Amino acid sequence: MTETSTSTRERELDGIRMQVEGERDRLQHELDQLRSDGGGRDDAHFHEHPTDHAGEMEEHDRQLAIRENLDQMFSQCQDALGRLERGEYGICRSCGQEIDIERLKALPYATKCIPCKEARRD
Ligand SMILES: [Zn+2]
């Protein structure tokens, strides 16, 4: 057996990295689109119809919420990829133990193992 140099866990982490990279690229694309849609013309039709005005504010708030959400997910991706590169990925931030691979597959941005998460240790 010459394949033992790469452990199963490393292979699994590789798969997770590709998944997170794909997710990051998708989020980057969506953020780019939101930026090019949103910028600069917000004031153009802010007059005459108070009811429309309210509707536009809601739409504006909604867009902002979506963008904040995307921003947050994007930084989670960046954070996870950074930890993968530094070899810190999949290590519990609280107790230093390896986080279960099944947990990482379900939640690639997890920074704590299940026992720590449940105990809310920091
Ligand atoms: Zn832990």
> How far, in Å, from the CA of 101 to the mean position of ligand 1?
13
Neighbours of ion ligand 1 (CB under 5 A): 92, 94-95, 113, 116
Instruction: Identify whether the C-beta of residue 11 lies closer than 8 Å to the C-beta of residue 72.
Output: no
Mean pLDDT of the chain: 86
> How far, in Å, from the CA of 77 to the mean position of ligand 1?
21
Predicted TM-score (pTM) of this structure: 0.74
Q: Which domains does the chain have, with CATH numbers?
A: 7-37+53-119 (1.20.120.910)
pLDDT of residue 104: 96
Q: What is the pLDDT along the chain (122 residues), one digit of tens a residue?
A: 455 567 899 999 999 999 999 999 999 999 999 888 755 555 545 555 556 667 888 888 998 999 999 999 999 999 999 999 999 999 999 999 999 999 999 999 999 999 999 997 55
How many other CB atoms are there within 10 angstroms of residue 56's CB atom?
14
Nearest of 27, 16, 25, 17 to residue 69 by alpha carbon: 27
pLDDT of residue 37: 75
> How far, in Å, from the CA of 68 to the mean position of ligand 1?
29
